[in-house]
Amino acid sequence: MVVKPWAQRKRTVSQIVPEVQAKLSRVPGLQILAATPSALPGGSNFPIEFVIASTAEPEQLLQFAQKIQMKAAQSGYFFFPSADRSQDRPAAG
């Protein structure tokens, strides 16, 4: 979604996003997150991200990530906590 230029609106993006999120949350069967893109190139759209690296087996790592995801969901502080299953991607080195 692209908002109107500053001169044509009275609210900030931070004020608009909760309204948009409320409307998106009413779409049955979908989990949609309204997020503002990072101001820095290559930055994340999310204020908090965790990278879990280990020499453990991928399945053990996934189980640990899912535990963190469950605790995040139970906390009520996160919209859509998710665990990215990127353990099969080789690390840049």
- Written as six digits, the tokens of 51 are 């990278």
Say what the pLDDT of residue 93 is: 46
SS3 of 7, please? helix
Give tens-digit pLDDT for 14-72.
899 889 888 888 888 877 777 776 665 555 666 667 777 778 888 888 888 888 888 88
DSSP H helical segments within the chain, as ranges?
A: 13-24, 58-75
- What is d(CA 9, CA 89) in angstroms, rounded to the nearest whole number? 43
**What does the pLDDT look like over 69-84, one tens digit per residue?**
888 888 877 767 776 6
What is the domain partition of the chain in residue ranges?
9-35+45-75
